[in-house]
Structure 1
């Protein structure tokens, strides 16, 4: 099965840049920008996680349904989307998330 990477990511990159621009231009509050992307994370997780859970149950039962390839496709596509949205999330929370990646000793030297 061939998976698309660019087609599902372009709308998310465009959407993030759009809401981020609205926030930077003071047309929406930062909380609105964050809430939109938290909702997108939630929906992508529900669909991707739900599809993965259904596929796991079918695999354990040894059942192969005609819809299984489509479930696998959307599970992977939304998993890619979740990876991309994770990058957006780190961008939004960079000040607090850099504590996970940069040691306190290095932060205090700056």
Structure 2
């Protein structure tokens, strides 16, 4: 019985998800932001925001998948908005960008989305 409990605990504690690291997700997001036209893209760290994992619905997989949420700031994003220029949801198992939330138009300083 103790061996069964130990096996269950080991299964729950052992990291089952492998894939890209948070540092790799950062690089992917910053490269994607540059390709999307955001100038001077950098990680958005206001309010001690950090890269986190979460589940997000993938239309191509038709299910929730584990992603890195990467918050990116860019030139022209007014601090008064208190929101990043763009958020990228990057699939943890292969690094694919599965969704984007835009806080401002790329290449359009100080013009929030309407």
More strand as a share of residues: 2
TM-score by length of 1: 0.29
TM-score by length of 2: 0.29
* More contact order relative to length (CA 8 Å, sep ≥ 6): 1
